[in-house]
Amino acid sequence: MTESLSALESQRAQLLRALASLKDMRPGSVVGAVFRCGKPSCHCARAEDPGHGPNLRLTYKWRGKTVTEALPTPAAVQKAEREIAEFREYQRLGRELVEVNEKICRLRPVGEQPLREQEKGRPTRSSKKSHGSKHDIVNCVRKQC
Ligand SMILES: [Zn+2]
């Protein structure tokens, strides 16, 4: 099955619209950490005890380092999960955008200039200037118009 250039271009426009409508996003993951408080009297001091928690945290890489942020409330956990889901969507859309663009590049004939979305339907820059209100008198005299 071959896809036409125009079909691929409309697919690309759709992906760009979806990307433009993305909301708050961040990379990372929510991880749960179980901890032992260290009090000898606490239930968590026993080896078979599951410990406290899990305490949920957000971890992500920033400039090559792993950063951890506390997620102290269920609302904070939900917010982080929403933002991470949005980031995954951004990655998915980005991958699709590149795939569609690769197909477009393969199909685009040599010598054809791809138009930007906003240039479509407008006269191209190379079209002759109309002999309108701003016309050059000298030029007009020479051309005897
Ligand atoms: Zn404890």
In a domain, 131, yes or no: no
In a domain, 128, yes or no: no
In a domain, 121, yes or no: no
Question: Do residues 48 and 65 lie in contact, with contact meaning Cβ atoms separated by under 8 Å?
Answer: no
CA pair distance 64, 26, nearest whole angstrom: 15
Q: Which residue range is the domain that position 18 belongs to?
A: 5-110
40 Cα–ligand 1 center, Å: 8
In a domain, 85, yes or no: yes
CA pair distance 52, 71, nearest whole angstrom: 15
CA pair distance 17, 103, nearest whole angstrom: 19
**How many domains does the chain contain in total?**
1
Burial class (CB in 10 A: 0-12, 13-18, 19+), 48: exposed
Question: Do residues 77 and 83 lie in contact, with contact meaning Cβ atoms separated by under 8 Å?
Answer: no
pLDDT of residue 53: 85
Q: Which residues of the chain have pLDDT under 70?
A: 1-2, 115, 117-145
Distance of CA 83 to the CA centre of its chain: 13
pLDDT of residue 66: 95
pLDDT of residue 113: 76
46 Cα–ligand 1 center, Å: 9
Query: In this structure, what token pair is assigned to residue 45?
Result: 């001091």
pLDDT of residue 132: 47
pLDDT of residue 130: 47
Q: What's the pTM?
A: 0.65
74 Cα–ligand 1 center, Å: 21
Query: In this structure, what token pair is assigned to residue 145?
Result: 């118009």
Indicate if the alpha-carbon torsion angle 43, 48, 54, 58 is positive or negative. positive
pLDDT of residue 17: 98
pLDDT of residue 120: 58
45 Cα–ligand 1 center, Å: 6
In a domain, 145, yes or no: no
Give pLDDT tens digits for 49-63.
999 988 899 999 999
